[in-house]
Amino acid sequence: MNLGAIVLPLLLAGPAAETRLMTPGDVFTLKTVADPRVSPDGRYVAYTVASMDATDDESNTDVYMSPRDGGAPVKIASSKKDETDPRWSPDGKYLAFLATRDDDEADQVYLLDRRGGEGTRLTSFRGGVSAIVWSPDGKRLALVVKDAPPERPKDDKKPRPIVTRRRQFKDDENGDDNGYLTDRRSHIQVVEVEGGKALALTSGPFDDSEPAWSPDGRHVAFVSNRTSEPDGNFDTDVFVVRSDKAEWPRLVTASPTADTTPAWSPDGQWIAYVQGGAPKDIWYAPTNLAVVPFAGGPGRVLTPSLDRNVTTPRFSPDGKTVFFLLEDRGNVHLARVPAAGGAVERVVAGERVVESYDVSPEGEVFVLETSAHQPSEVSVVAADGLRRVTTINDAVLKSRRLAPVERRQAKSPDGTEVEYFVVRPADAPAGQKLQTMLHIHGGPALQFTTGFHHEWQTYAGHGYQIVGANPRGSTGRGHAYSRAIWADWGNKDRIDLMAALDDAVARGGVDPERLVVGGHSYGGMMTNYVIARTTRFKAAFALSGGGFYLGNFGPDQYQRHYEYEVGLPWKATAAYLKLSYPFLEVERITTPALYAGGDLDQNVPLMNTEQMYQALKSAHKEAELVVYPGEHHDLARPSFLKDYYERVLAWCDRWVTKERATDKP
């Protein structure tokens, strides 16, 4: 396939007079489809739909069901709070899901009888439930349950001190109290469907996750880090424990890598899993698909030469192959490989991102997939290609004019190939030189993909052309490409970003006098690196970014990553200072910068944003700070997300006036 310049097709219909461009307000119109699960008879697919409510100013996730052969979706579990994780019983009579309702303190398991009625609560774990897996006979559920918080009277609303003794004491998504980790842990429990009797299979100062039943129902595999100091490494392994009594689990995988996601073969003799890369390479090392005998013995890697990240293994119903998701050069495909080893086959390929999948007992495959002009929807894999099952966003898209997306290649000064995407506003005349935004992805070990990017379409709807590159440090191109920025942030990746932008300028259609730059998370960090080394950009914006890393050890959740990649600050002070050049050389920055962040962010804490803002203001530079109360690393409140898009566009417009350009071909 020639990747030099691929224009991703725009498959929309409807008269032009009835359409409009995307705006920040479309956060309230587009919905997010996720987690498809096919019924045991293969006739229906359950899934979740998340929407944002402008009146209540919050998002809400409900469970829907659609017929396999097409038809109107049915909302089968809904309330003012989220319903997630729909899971069919093996006989198809029940659908289990997670929800927080009435007096629930945290997510509990609810059962919905398909023959009629409302969902009824099965569990009452004060710490909450985060995963559901049915036993093969449908009589029990394996759950991930968090330890209960300390008892306190319901009318006691006074804040309490947060106390922790852990080395890893922060996690923005999984913390107990505002992102702080305490001694409360997550363990595997088995609950009987009739009566709700619970049995704790695991315990101890460990976090256990990803339970998977053996085909005979006698064992449960799970993932845990049970080393002497779990907070000091990434060494998770697959364990197996009996399902009828608590006992010390048996170790199945014993490598020092991060082994995750166990999946049993139909005969119960093998467990497939994702084997992490070399521990010293942390997130820069690609994962592998491997299998290991349940009875014990060494594992066998099925993808030894793939050099790409793999996730989500699952045996085919006949046990002959193992399905998995394969990340590759801006795409994510559904692939499979013989269980005994052999060539990798791509089942669903092309310019798209397969986000998840499910397989019916008869072997029919369903995928959740997205492309440049289609938000995530469920499709069934047919002999002649993909056939859509859901059309949740089609009606909205028919009334929008979406910007075309083109994939291109550039060359960095040292000859490195850099892929990037160009999103040109839908109404821009051919040849017109446009105000252009260099948009930078987070990570760093992530990639811009061929999936639908609401943010890109929103900025393009306002008239900005987008250049979104995958510089070194990105995934999808193999180990060497990703690890090239090891302890050297803001160097090769910055050079690659500028090479992509230069290539876009050279091809035409970019006004070099009207450039802006911005991003979120590592994209915000890279924005600071970029504007500290060039004056080309008229405006910059950074959401949850950073710039002074010597002061960041401790406030954020990445203590293990820092130690692995950079070292301890008191031993590697010079390395931290080298990486902190945007803050330490702030007087070189001339680009007006908009900084934003959530005050509860423990991923890249707000202090990073505040430091860069304060440095610019103290150096008498143009800057603005926006703090979103109650928000973590990713903005969740709908009005705040809309506000952020609007502020970015207003900031860029302020410094990049449209009247200055000739706007002629």
Say if residue 415 is in the same domain as residue 386.
no
Question: Domain with 529 in it: what CATH number?
Answer: 3.40.50.1820
Q: How far apart are CA 222 and CA 240, in angstroms?
A: 6
Q: How many CB atoms lie within 10 A of CB 215?
A: 15
Q: Supply the DSSP symbol for 625.
A: E
Long-range pairs for 386-390: beta carbons < 8 A, 24 or more residues apart? 386/348, 388/70, 389/36, 389/45, 389/66, 389/67, 389/68, 389/70, 390/33, 390/45, 390/47, 390/64, 390/66, 390/73
Say if residue 379 is in the same domain as residue 425.
no
Asked if residue 452 belongs to a domain, the reply is yes
Mean pLDDT of 451-480: 97
Q: How many CB atoms lie within 10 A of CB 555?
A: 16
User: Can you give the pTM of this predicted structure?
Assistant: 0.93
Looking at 146-150, 186-190, 440-444, 524-528, which range is the least confident one?
Answer: 146-150
User: Given this model, what pLDDT does residue 227 score?
Assistant: 93
User: ω into residue 592 within 30 of 0, thus cis?
Assistant: no
Q: How far apart are CA 292 and CA 272, in angstroms?
A: 6
Say if residue 541 is in the same domain as residue 426.
yes
Asked if residue 613 belongs to a domain, the reply is yes
User: Given this model, what pLDDT does residue 103 score?
Assistant: 80
Say if residue 499 is in the same domain as residue 447.
yes
Pairing mode, if any, of strands 465-470 and 434-440?
A: parallel
Mean pLDDT of 61-81: 90
Task: With beta carbons less than 8 A apart as the criterion, state whether 270 and 215 touch.
Answer: no
Cα dist from 258 to 273, 312, 453, whole Å: 10, 14, 30
Q: How far apart are CA 338 and CA 324, in angstroms?
A: 11
Asked if residue 138 belongs to a domain, the reply is no
Strand stretches in 479-622, DSSP E: 510-520, 539-543, 593-598
Task: With beta carbons less than 8 A apart as the criterion, state whether 439 and 291 touch.
Answer: no
Say if residue 387 is in the same domain as residue 487.
no
Q: How far apart are CA 635 and CA 134, in angstroms?
A: 33
Give the model's confidence band at 18: pLDDT under 50 very low, under 70 low, under 90 confident, else very high.
Answer: confident
Mean pLDDT of 327-334: 97
Asked if residue 347 belongs to a domain, the reply is no
Say if residue 588 is in the same domain as residue 635.
yes
Look up residue 13 and give its amino acid: A
Nearest to 625 by CA among 607, 641, 638, 601: 607
Chain-centroid distance of CA 151 in Å reads: 34
Q: What is the pLDDT of residues 127-182, one digit of tens each?
A: 999 999 999 999 999 999 999 988 878 778 788 888 888 888 888 877 776 788 88
Mean pLDDT of 611-630: 97
Number of domains in the chain: 2
Say if residue 381 is in the same domain as residue 523.
no
Asked if residue 296 belongs to a domain, the reply is no
Flag whether pLDDT at 210 surpasses 70. yes
Say if residue 383 is in the same domain as residue 466.
no
Flag whether pLDDT at 107 surpasses 80. yes
Asked if residue 384 belongs to a domain, the reply is yes
Domain assignment of residue 463, given as a range: 403-659
Task: With beta carbons less than 8 A apart as the criterion, state whether 517 and 527 touch.
Answer: yes
Say if residue 393 is in the same domain as residue 484.
no
Instruction: Write a three-state SS string for 493-513.
Output: HHHHHHHHHHHHHHHCCEEEE
Say if residue 516 is in the same domain as residue 603.
yes
User: Given this model, what pLDDT does residue 176 score?
Assistant: 75
Structure tokens at 575: 């390395």
Alpha helices in 556-605 (DSSP H): 559-565, 573-579, 581-584
Say if residue 459 is in the same domain as residue 539.
yes
Flag whether pLDDT at 15 surpasses 80. no
User: Given this model, what pLDDT does residue 661 score?
Assistant: 42
Flag whether pLDDT at 316 surpasses 60. yes
Say if residue 412 is in the same domain as residue 500.
yes
Asked if residue 362 belongs to a domain, the reply is no
Last residue of a domain, one of 380, 400, 420: 400
Q: What is the pLDDT of residues 496-540, one digit of tens each?
A: 999 999 999 999 999 999 999 999 999 999 999 999 999 999 999
Task: With beta carbons less than 8 A apart as the criterion, state whether 175 and 602 touch.
Answer: yes
Asked if residue 644 belongs to a domain, the reply is yes
